[in-house]
Amino acid sequence: MMSGSDKGAFYITTPIYYVNDKPHIGHAYTTLACDVLARFKRLDGFDVNFLTGTDEHGQKVESSAEKAGIDPQLFTDRVSQNFRDLTQICNYSNDDFIRTTEERHKIACQKLWKVLEDKGYIYLGSYAGWYAVRDEAFYTETELTKSADGKFIAPTGAEVEWVEEPSYFFKLSAFEEPLLKLYEEQPDFIGPDSRRNEVISFVKGGLRDLSVSRTTFKWGVSVPGNDEHIMYVWLDALTNYLTAVGYPDEGTAAYKKFWPADLHMVGKDIVRFHAVYWPAFLMAADLPLPKRIFAHGWWTNEGQKISKSLGNTIDPLALIEQFGLDQVRYFMLREVPFGKDGDYSTRAMISRVNGDLANDIGNLAQRVLSMVFKNCDGKIPDHGAFTAEDQELLAKAGGLLEKMRNDFDKQSFHRGLESVWEVISLANKYVDEQAPWTLRKTDPPRMGTVLYVLCEVIRQIAVLLQPVMPQSMEKMLDQLSLSVDQRGFQTLGIPLVSGTEISKPEGIFPRYVEEE
């Protein structure tokens, strides 16, 4: 894929995925959004660093490994591999894959701890409170509800237990004002607005010092100078974003180029850790803050909340097998406004595959390129002067990059795609109105111009859709005989050369036919 660095660096991260289970639709969704943005930025001339990986420490992993009767490291090796496999199968273009069990990460965590301790932000005390093993998080009494059988339940639905143990604390309370000032001065620091408001309200409710170590289990990064304590999994996990660019060595080329991160993409359930704890740790360590944190919504399945107990989790690999990889990639970013909750339904998927892909863009490319192949000696035709209709369609296609840039920079992927489909729809309408099959008999030069305009519009659309559907758009650009160096966004303004031979067009988006 084309990559340039004339526009500077762009560092984007997924959350690191917790390895106590196999990958599901939520993991695929977050990484897909990052992949699309990373590919978009590369094509737009940025030097991109796209990071994903796995979070492998904590009590949950220790007990899952125990249950499986294997060593925690062996357990995490196996499960982490599932996430690495997912990146291959879904065609993600990540530049690095980090695991929190790596030595480079342990060094970074212990260094950050020492810095926080030396600056007086970490102290030893003792902790007593409600803890949810599933969430690796502490909750106050006011946040809990009681289940029918008298157990206390966290807002996430996880059971909590009362924990008392010695613990190191981070002076989170010292950061209430600095954090509120940050949110006010940088309104784009957290997106979307609903999450921003939620975080502001949480911080305004008052911040208490955060317990940052545990002594009741051993699977984690040990606290420097006190092996009895293991670092709280979130302090360990969040540090991965620094580890991957070379921290604690702030002199490395990667650190200088890529830190601070441009975007941390997360699910809405972990926005608090990223938008409250993480900037507070960084402020305390005098390190630059990331530029933006964006939290997307959750999927439901055919209107039902997804849960293991209901057995309705969505396996991304099964979806890909059924509908095709690029079809699933497109559906996930087009169906739901990114940032809101969305519902997966087979009907909606089939409608996108057959409507948007097979009928709209697939049919447009297939019929136009077939006409060129058949009626223009298999070459991009010559064109005469452009009419007002020709110019209008070309201008609409020419304006897409700017629209997509603006939408993608706000993580509004569905909007960017809507704009492209408006142009596809106009192009289909233009074919019907201009009727090149009739012009073939009545006005062959005009037919050439009409087909030229359409080929040019298809080229622009295919170049712009590469980040979302890389394999399909590669095929479409191959059919137009465009070389690899003619596929970056900087080439959008360079029109097709008449006389270029094209290959025999083949359908790219087959219709999905339901089995009887």
User: Is the pLDDT score of 3 beyond 70?
Assistant: no
Instruction: Look at residue 180 and tell me if it is in a domain.
Output: no
Q: What pTM was computed for the model?
A: 0.93
The pLDDT tens digits of the residues spanning 401-432 come to 999 999 999 999 999 999 999 999 999 999 99
Per-residue pLDDT band at 315 (split at 50, 70, 90) = confident
Instruction: Fill in the DSSP letter of residue 357.
Output: I
Confidence of residue 5 (pLDDT cuts 50, 70, 90): low
Query: In this structure, what CATH number is given to the domain that contains residue 461?
Result: 1.10.730.10
392 in a structural domain? yes
Residue from 153, 157, 199, 161 nearest 180 by CA: 199
Residue 484 domain-assigned?
Answer: yes
* Total domains in the fold of the chain: 1
- Give pLDDT tens digits for 137-184: 888 888 999 998 989 999 988 999 998 889 999 999 999 999 999 999
> Measured between alpha carbons, how far is 152 from 249 in angstroms, rounded to an integer?
44
Task: Identify whether 442 is part of a domain.
Answer: yes
Residue 297, domain member (yes or no): no
In a domain, 51, yes or no: no
Q: What whole-number distance in Å separates Cα of residue 465 and Cα of residue 446?
A: 29
- With a cut of 70, say whether residue 4 has pLDDT above it: no
Q: Tell whether 360 is covered by a domain.
A: yes
List the Cα angle 152/157/158 in 5-degree steps: 65
User: Residue 418 is part of which domain span?
Assistant: 345-491
Q: Domain for residue 380, yes or no? A: yes
CA distance 389 to 91: 38
Q: pLDDT tens digit string along 342-359?
A: 889 999 999 999 999 999
* 284 Cβ contact partners less than 8 Å away, ≥ 6 residues apart: 116, 119, 121, 170, 171, 174, 175
